[in-house]
Amino acid sequence: MRKIAVLILAAAGVSLAGAASAADLGAKPIYRKAAPVEVFTWTGGYIGGYVGGAFGANDAVTGVPVNGAGAPIFAGPAASYNYSSSVIGGYTSGYNWQFAPNWVIGYEGETGYIGVKGSSAYAGSATSIATTRAEGLYSVWAARFGYAFDRSLIYVKGGATLVNFETGVSDGTAGNHIDTMHRKYRLGYAIGGGWEYAFDNKWSVKAEYLYLGFDNNITTTGNFTGPPTQVWTTTSLPGIHTAKVGLNYKFDALSYFLGVIR
């Protein structure tokens, strides 16, 4: 009987081991789906702000006031003077599209404050002063084209700018008054480039240089008392160098637009 019991127990153990082995062999492996790797893209709309500085590229030149016959009302050379430097600041908005796969094109607009100005007395007049200032709001509309190294973007930028200039000649001497000072908006061109770095999927910082150029002169008219007559002056406008740093916030422009119209 003891031998029979031993044989039964041995057979039962072999059966259990075989069943366990079969169960192990028949179990299906469990595969876990890997988390998708998020790839950064520059595509999207953005808004931001900037601060920096501006200064004149060269001298402004204002000619001696002339009368209706084209004759100067006093002797002496034209007045030549440079702009003082200015703090600039404002906001930007735009859109980028990344393609093929590292190139980026886009549009950017900016509006901000500028305050460069300069003045000079004429050598041929003891009291006449030529003045030019670009003071107040200015705007830039430009295209951007760049190359992205993942979260770094190097770009060039070019477009148009609109700046409000006040220029002319003033003379407050009693009995001998000249005033041709007037404000005029001038349309010019903007060209430059910069570097932008996205430290987050939504936030980026940038450093940028932009040159504002003006090809046309400004002619302003006014009165000269003693005897009364109309006079005018012509000023050649120098370009303006600007340098700025900024902070931008990127968003999905299409999703934002669809959310607004719903």
CATH number for the domain including 248?
Answer: 2.40.160.20
For residue 155, is it within any domain?
yes
Query: Residue 177: what pLDDT?
Result: 79
CA dihedral sign, ordered 108, 142, 246, 148: positive
Q: How many structural domains are present in the chain?
A: 1
How far apart CA 197 and CA 148 sit, in angstroms, is: 9
Query: Residue 224: what pLDDT?
Result: 81
| pLDDT tens digits, one per residue of 188-207 | 999 999 999 999 999 999 99
What are phi and psi for residue 14, nearest 5 degrees? Answer: -65, -40
The rounded radius of gyration (Å) of the Cα atoms in the chain is 36
Ramachandran sector of residue 22 (left: φ over 0; alpha: ψ -120 to 50; beta: rest):
alpha
pTM of the full structure = 0.80
Break the chain down into helix, strand, coil percent, rounded to 5: 15, 60, 30
Provide the 10 A C-beta neighbour count for residue 99: 11
Query: Residue 130: what pLDDT?
Result: 94
Tell which residue, 106, 238, 78, has the closest CA to residue 163: 238
| pLDDT tens digits, one per residue of 79-118 | 999 999 999 999 999 999 999 899 999 999 999 999 999 9
For residue 30, is it within any domain?
no
| Domain, as residue range, for 116 | 44-261
Ramachandran sector of residue 25 (left: φ over 0; alpha: ψ -120 to 50; beta: rest):
alpha
Query: Residue 194: what pLDDT?
Result: 97
Mark the ranges of the chain whose per-residue pLDDT is less than 50: 1, 3-23, 25, 258-262
Tell which residue, 143, 37, 149, 157, has the closest CA to residue 101: 149
Query: Residue 17: what pLDDT?
Result: 46
For residue 31, is it within any domain?
no
For residue 80, is it within any domain?
yes
For residue 75, is it within any domain?
yes
